[in-house]
Amino acid sequence: MRHRIAAVSAAALVAIAGSIGIAEAQPASLYAPSAVVLAVAQGENAATVVRATTVSCAPTAQGTHPDPRGACAALNAAAGSLDALLAAPDTNRACPMHYDPVTVTADGVWKGSRIAWKHTFSNSCAMSATLNGNAAFAF
């Protein structure tokens, strides 16, 4: 009889816990969040966004970026210093010397830390020559 009362009591506790919404403990994520908005804007203050894309890199590469894997690889290679995304300009490419600024930005969270980065180029040709082959801004 005692075992039956104990079993009934345990079943009742489980039913009550389920009905009042006691939450189960969820395991913490193994991945630090990495989700970034990449944008290209006209002007120095990045007020007029020309195009933008999103990329999330943990646990898998995804987002609206046309090549999220390539973008995540480029961001990982930068190892937290997004200035590393800026390669030496292509010396075989001649750009006009006019000033029509274009600004690239990266805003979001990278490996659990908040990032807000921007770089302004003198014009779109200089931007293309410098970011040539960089998958992060190939959108």
Position 90 scores a pLDDT of 81
Output the six-digit token pair for 63. 């987002």
Position 79 scores a pLDDT of 81
CATH number of 27-137: 2.60.40.10, 3.90.550.10, 3.30.350.10, 1.10.1740.10?
3.30.350.10
Predicted TM-score (pTM) of the model is: 0.75
Position 12 scores a pLDDT of 43
Could you state, in order of their start, the residue ranges of all structural domains in the chain?
27-137
pLDDT tens profile 83-124: 998 977 888 889 999 999 999 999 999 999 999 999 999 999
Q: Say how many C-beta atoms besides its own lie within 10 A of residue 106's C-beta.
A: 21
Residue where the block lists tokens 């995804």: 62
pLDDT tier at 29, thresholds 50, 70, 90: low
CA–CA separation, 102 and 124 (whole Å): 6
Angle, vertex CA 72, rays to CA 56 and CA 107, nearest 5: 60
